[in-house]
Chain A
Amino acid sequence: MRSRRNLYISLIMISAIAAVWIGLSLVVTNSYYQLMLTLVPIWAVLGLSWNLLSGYTGLVSFGHAAFFGLGAYTVTIALVQYDITPWLGIPLGMVVGTVAGVVIGYPTFRLRGHYFALSMLAYPMALLYVFVWLGYQEVALPMKRAAPGYYMQFSDYRVYIALAVALLVVSLLISLAIERSRFGLSLLAIKQNEPAAEAAGIDTLAWKMRAIMLSGALAAAAGGLYAVVQLVVTPDSVFGMLTSAQALIVALFGGVGTLWGPLIGSAILIPLSETLQANLGDKIPGIQGVVYGIAIILVILLAPDGIFWRVRDFLRRPRAAGLGPVNPIAPPLAASAPEPAPPQRQAILTVSNLSKSFGGLRAVADASFTVGDGEILGIIGPNGAGKTTLFNLLNGFLPPDGGNVSFTGHELIGLKPNRICRLGIGRTFQVVRAFARLSVLDNVVVGAYARTARDAEAVAAATAALAQVGLVGRAGALAGSLTNKELRLMELARALAGQPRLLLMDEPLAGLASHEIEDMLEVIRALAAQGTTVVIIEHTMRAMVRLAERFIVLDHGAILATGHPGDIVKNESVIEAYLGKKWAAIRAHG
């Protein structure tokens, strides 16, 4: 993804496309085909704008017509009412599109999945009716015969084609730059697992806002140019549902999540529908819609992820057979330290009176404890004791009902997970939250962004973290292809890449075979030896007794006991909580 060779290939492709397009515009003289040569890049830009938000983040927008229409109407109204040239009108439209991105994005990003998609649909529809009400049913751009060039009105149609291609090239370059930077990787991480991205220190809201602002600006530019080319703007043609659908169709048809997709989709579908309309439209009205619709249905049934990915998979199939040898886990860096006497430790994390209820259930009840700098603390307790909820409170996934958490002098309550991560608290999950379609290295790089603003440093930090857990040999593999143990190590590396001072591990041994548990214990001990404080939730008592310096026992959300593991396993109330009263009684008497 980041290789220089790929960059050069992409740049050459973009130049070639521009050259072919300009070449075509010199050859084609039929005005109808000239219009088509202009419309393909315009719709491709709208598709790229959609892809920028929805393709990379996975938040499907049904409402890109809102930005497109605002761009078109800004240009039109600026020209008609204020005599402002489209040369200024289009940039002005892009500003309006960006502002619309903020206004729409900020409230709507609270929603996810289908709710987000359907809410986006409402914006252009509401705008459509507002513009009808304002009296802009059909606005024509006036002819400016005195200074046509100044008003972007050219007798030579090829200038329009050149303008459209220029806009397309700019959009492609922006998309390319995003794909190759932390912007793109952060968006992909959000798409694959938003909570994990947030917990790894990615400010998900900030990235999504940037994406929708940029996307709004590009869509508005496409809309503005569309108005200039068509010379007439109606609410239906720019805010209508078909416009939003067009953005989505060209991108999905060509391929989601790649800059080439919208271009491919638009280059095939726009000429197809326009040609059908021109040749058969007057004989059989509607035939172009039918054929267009059938074409879409067939392609989606045959290539559900879009043409680009289908072709790419087809070309790569012979090589994809072997991903290379699976490297065994490298030996951990440090050998396990001999049983040290527990030193007096300074508190790094102080939790006081922390509480959380779900309805009537008190998941965490008035919990107070401290975590010492450099210790390995085990949190144990029966199922449903509130252990994972406690972690969710500590790393900001859940707001507590009451209580305080302070970490190295910072108050954590009310901070978002990415802020807490950046303060130095890393986290792994009970069920591994991987970015399945990213490589192992990219997964860890996402975690390293929390530490450095420079992308190259992030890659170096990620590689170091992979070395720390012994996963360097798998750096290039897709996360989705890893074994359970490798996934757990990768998630650990992702947390480590942000260089946390405190690491929260939620059942890191779950689902591991006994020899794999030994490997994992070694890695955790090595971490602690290097000075990272570790808090572990775990059920596997035998392993925990050997690993942790201190236990906290949770039951029904409350802290039942704290102390040295050897004492805790003999504590009667702990045995009772785990095994029931009867068992505790047998032990006491037996």
Chain B
Amino acid sequence: MTPFGTFAEIFIQALVAGILIGAIYGLMCAGLGIIFGVMRVINFAQGEFLMLGMYFTFYLVIGYDLLWFLGPAVGPYVGALIAGPVLFVFGYFLHRFVISRVTGTSVAGTESEGHYPQLILTLGIALVLQNGGLILFGSTPESVRTPLSSRAWELPLLYNANAALFLNKARVVAALVSIVVAGALYLLINRSRLGKTLRAAADNAAAATYMGIDVDRAYRIAFGIGIGITAIAGGLVATYNPFQPYIGLDFVIIMYAGVVLGGMGSILGAFWGGMTIGLVQQLSTLVLPTQLQNAAIFVVFLLIVMVRPQGLFGRATERI
């Protein structure tokens, strides 16, 4: 095989891996994006909700084996989808009783618009969830292995009969489920009455209040949806990635990088931002040592933010 052919094969392999991983990053970013876009709250505990989604799926599917009737191939994905509504409820009430005390209409007009208390409150929640997770789940890494995890589809490459593209089945299915969920979220936000309410509350909370929209309720729902979506992404990641209670830290930064890249406030943008992160991460392995994979994400992130602070896909929202 020619050197070019070898490079092309590695490149295509990395590109496809980036798209598959990017689809899931995109979903978790969309979850964070809806919280950030609607409420303008920096939620540091988002990674911990991803972790809760992983453990929920794990206990549902492996620990208690409640979805045995679906079989080992389908069960984990259904489990991940169930994690969504369950964590929605959790997020809804967490916002109702804790987060709402430092956000929304209760702090409008205070000096920092509540930013400082929001940051430290969500950091506190993150600490409680991480360490509470350690107490409840233990520190041994778990995984939701499916029969698909160790199998791959082998696609022949057109230009060369000797080369082939290997697609891990678990990752392909997880990416597909992720795209479907992101599509459903997009329709919910852009086509439904609830979505219109959320967008109104996001655009101008005061004006929305005058139009009779219960802005605090819209915030609660947005927070719940954001948590639920990220939890689904967590369940999907769990099917091919081992995890422990501290795994949230690894992902929260990827999520924020994706949301900022996509342009804060745009949910579709957040998805593409996450996709970009996935691609950068995988393609950087072509030129950089593996340890610098994540450093590459941050460098690209900084470059894009410096050049286009409104993100790749968003409008400028925070100006003078």
Q: Point out residues on A near B: beta carbons under 8 Å.
A: 58, 60, 107-108, 110-115, 117-119, 121-123, 125-126, 129-130, 132-133, 194-195, 241, 245, 248-249, 252-253, 256, 284-290, 292-297, 300-301, 304-306, 397, 436-437
In the complex the two chains form, is B135's CB within 8 Å of A290's CB? yes
In the complex the two chains form, is B127's CB within 8 Å of A248's CB? no
In the complex the two chains form, is B135's CB within 8 Å of A297's CB? no
In the complex the two chains form, is B121's CB within 8 Å of A297's CB? yes
A103 and B235 CA atoms in complex are apart in Å by 40
24 contacts between A and B (CB under 8 A): A58-B112, A60-B119, A112-B318, A115-B318, A118-B42, A121-B256, A122-B299, A126-B295, A126-B302, A129-B292, A129-B298, A130-B292, A241-B252, A285-B135, A286-B133, A287-B131, A289-B127, A290-B128, A293-B124, A294-B124, A297-B128, A304-B102, A304-B107, A397-B320
- Residue interface bits B212-251, CB-to-A below 8 A is 1, else 0: 0000000000000000000000000000000001000100
B130 close to A (CB within 8 Å): yes
- Residue interface bits B173-210, CB-to-A below 8 A is 1, else 0: 00000000000000000000000000000000000000
**Set A114, A287, A300: member contacting B124, Cβ < 8 A:** A300
Given contacts A133-B289, A285-B135, 18 further A-B contacts (CB under 8 A): A112-B319, A114-B40, A118-B256, A118-B260, A122-B302, A125-B294, A126-B302, A129-B294, A245-B123, A286-B132, A289-B130, A290-B132, A293-B131, A296-B123, A296-B127, A297-B98, A304-B110, A437-B111
B116 close to A (CB within 8 Å): yes
In the complex the two chains form, is B124's CB within 8 Å of A297's CB? yes
B306 close to A (CB within 8 Å): yes
- Give the distance to chain B from A272, nearest Cβ to Cβ, in Å: 12
B78 close to A (CB within 8 Å): no
Contacts of A397 in B (CB 8 A): 320
- Give the distance to chain A from B212, nearest Cβ to Cβ, in Å: 27
In the complex the two chains form, is A292's CB within 8 Å of B127's CB? yes
In the complex the two chains form, is A107's CB within 8 Å of B306's CB? yes
In the complex the two chains form, is A249's CB within 8 Å of B306's CB? no
In the complex the two chains form, is A293's CB within 8 Å of B253's CB? no
Residues B27-82 near A (CB distance < 8 A): 36, 40, 42, 44
**Residue ID in chain A nearest B299 by CB atoms:** A126
- Give the distance to chain B from A121, nearest Cβ to Cβ, in Å: 6
- Give the distance to chain A from B106, nearest Cβ to Cβ, in Å: 10
**Residue ID in chain B nearest A122 by CB atoms:** B298
Contacts of A296 in B (CB 8 A): 120-121, 123-124, 127
B101 close to A (CB within 8 Å): yes
Contacts of B320 in A (CB 8 A): 194-195, 397
Contacts of A288 in B (CB 8 A): 131
Q: Given the interface contacts A125-B253, A289-B134, A296-B120, does A119 sit within 8 Å of B42 by beta carbon?
A: no
In the complex the two chains form, is A125's CB within 8 Å of B298's CB? yes
Contacts of A305 in B (CB 8 A): 111, 116-117
In the complex the two chains form, is B42's CB within 8 Å of A132's CB? no
**Set A114, A293, A297: member contacting B264, Cβ < 8 A:** A114
In the complex the two chains form, is B306's CB within 8 Å of A248's CB? no
- Give the distance to chain B from A298, nearest Cβ to Cβ, in Å: 9
A252 and B118 CA atoms in complex are apart in Å by 11
Chain A CB count within 10 A is highest, among B40, B123, B133, B135, for B123
In the complex the two chains form, is B302's CB within 8 Å of A286's CB? no
Contacts of A133 in B (CB 8 A): 289, 291-292, 295
Contacts of B120 in A (CB 8 A): 248-249, 252-253, 296, 300
- Residue interface bits B236-280, CB-to-A below 8 A is 1, else 0: 000000000100010011001100100010000000000000000
A287 and B119 CA atoms in complex are apart in Å by 22
Chain B CB count within 10 A is highest, among A108, A112, A115, A245, for A115
**Set A122, A249, A306: member contacting B301, Cβ < 8 A:** A122
Q: Give the number of A-B contacts (CB < 8 Å).
A: 153
In the complex the two chains form, is A300's CB within 8 Å of B253's CB? no
In the complex the two chains form, is A110's CB within 8 Å of B119's CB? no
**Set B98, B116, B257: member contacting A256, Cβ < 8 A:** B116
- Residue interface bits B77-102, CB-to-A below 8 A is 1, else 0: 00000000000000000000010011
- Give the distance to chain B from A307, nearest Cβ to Cβ, in Å: 12
A304 and B298 CA atoms in complex are apart in Å by 31
A316 and B107 CA atoms in complex are apart in Å by 22
B115 close to A (CB within 8 Å): yes
**Set B110, B111, B305: member contacting A111, Cβ < 8 A:** B305
List the 8 closest A-B pairs by CB distance, nearest first: A289-B131, A293-B127, A286-B134, A286-B131, A296-B124, A293-B128, A129-B295, A126-B298
A256 and B131 CA atoms in complex are apart in Å by 27
B19 close to A (CB within 8 Å): no
**Residue ID in chain A nearest B291 by CB atoms:** A133
- Give the distance to chain A from B19, nearest Cβ to Cβ, in Å: 23
In the complex the two chains form, is A301's CB within 8 Å of B257's CB? no
In the complex the two chains form, is A114's CB within 8 Å of B295's CB? no
**Set B102, B139, B298: member contacting A300, Cβ < 8 A:** B102
In the complex the two chains form, is A294's CB within 8 Å of B128's CB? yes
In the complex the two chains form, is B98's CB within 8 Å of A301's CB? yes
Contacts of B133 in A (CB 8 A): 286
A95 and B178 CA atoms in complex are apart in Å by 47
In the complex the two chains form, is A286's CB within 8 Å of B135's CB? yes
**Residue ID in chain A nearest B47 by CB atoms:** A241
B125 close to A (CB within 8 Å): yes
**Residue ID in chain A nearest B138 by CB atoms:** A285
- Give the distance to chain A from B121, nearest Cβ to Cβ, in Å: 5
- Residue interface bits B113-155, CB-to-A below 8 A is 1, else 0: 0111101110111111011111100010000000000000000
**Set B44, B117, B305: member contacting A115, Cβ < 8 A:** B305
Q: Given the interface contacts A114-B264, A119-B302, A300-B117, does A287 sit within 8 Å of B135 by beta carbon?
A: yes
B18 close to A (CB within 8 Å): no
B309 close to A (CB within 8 Å): yes
- Give the distance to chain A from B226, nearest Cβ to Cβ, in Å: 16
A328 and B40 CA atoms in complex are apart in Å by 42
**Residue ID in chain B nearest A58 by CB atoms:** B112
In the complex the two chains form, is B111's CB within 8 Å of A290's CB? no
In the complex the two chains form, is B128's CB within 8 Å of A304's CB? no
A321 and B24 CA atoms in complex are apart in Å by 56
Contacts of A286 in B (CB 8 A): 130-135, 245
A241 and B295 CA atoms in complex are apart in Å by 14
- Give the distance to chain B from A82, nearest Cβ to Cβ, in Å: 25
A115 and B265 CA atoms in complex are apart in Å by 12
Chain A CB count within 10 A is highest, among B112, B124, B132, for B124
Contacts of A118 in B (CB 8 A): 42, 256-257, 260, 305
Chain A CB count within 10 A is highest, among B114, B116, B119, B299, for B116
